[in-house]
Structures are given as C-alpha cells and as structure tokens.
Amino acid sequence: MNEYQEKGHLIVKDFIDPSLAQIALDYVELKSKTSGLVFNNEPNFVPNSMTFYADNLTESILKNSLPKMEELTGLDLLPTYSFMRLYKEGDRLPKHKDRLSCQIAVSLCIGYSYDDSEYQWPIYLDGKEVASKPGEALLYHGTE
C-alpha cells in the first residue's frame, strides 16, 4: 500500500513543471480576455466565476499526467475529464463531492496574481488547509 492509498490523499510538489504551469496560466489569462471561458455557468456554486470544461490544453495535461497519476496512486486509471476555474479574490469553492466520474481527483495550482513570494494557494480537504505553489497538486478521492 502506498502513501496515497493509506491517507486517501497526496500532496505532490512537482506534479507539473513550473514552466508548464506558467504557460497554462498565461493561456488561461489570455482565454479569459478573449471570451474563451464560460462566465458564471454555475451561479449557485461559485458565483461569477469563469470556467472551462475539457479544453484542449487541460485535456493534454490530463492525458500526459496519466502515467504519473497511476504511479502515485498505485491504480490503473481511466482519464475522464478536465475542468479549469479562474478564481478571483473572494471566491470560495464550497465543500462538495465530485461527480462519480471523478473518483480520483487532482486539484492543480497553475498560478496566481499575488506578488508575495511566500503566498501559497489554499485548498481545503476535510477542513484542513493544503497550501500549494504553481505546479503543485493535491490528489484526493473526489467522490468522498
């Protein structure tokens, strides 16, 4: 049994290379300025947030991350979907369970607009903060 299987989650410091995280961040920022993101498609979940589902870039990251995910989880996995949300100051993602097709989930930090070099993006798992920097990820049981 590996660490992911024992704990039910895993923090991965080098999930993707920081240069790929920067490319993804630039891509999302440009996409948000050119109507490439869907605005407010979940008004009762994270109001006024911008999202996209199954974008070519995020699907490529999903596809290329599969071998690493299988190694980290010790499981044979079938990639199902990718989803990106552009958070703005004050946004809060409520505690939730993901849909059934997201049994093994990854929350990947690609970047943020804070200049503070000590800042880390907070993700909460069972009320505990998991802070991450660009390129870092949290693997967890999405349906739990």
How many CA within 13 A on the CB side of residue 18? 5
pLDDT at 49: 80
* pLDDT band per the 50, 70, 90 thresholds, residue 40: low
pLDDT in tens, 78-95: 999 999 888 888 888 888
Which domains, and CATH codes, for the chain? 3-141 (2.60.120.620)
Interhelix angle 18-33/56-73, nearest 10 degrees: 150
Rg (Cα) of the chain, in Å, rounded?
A: 15
Give the confidence band of 42 by pLDDT, cuts at 50, 70, 90: low
pTM: 0.87
Backbone angles phi and psi of 122, in degrees to 5 = -85, 135
CA torsion sign, 108 to 114 to 117 to 120?
A: negative
Q: Rounded to whole angstroms, how far apart are CA atoms 108 and 60? A: 14
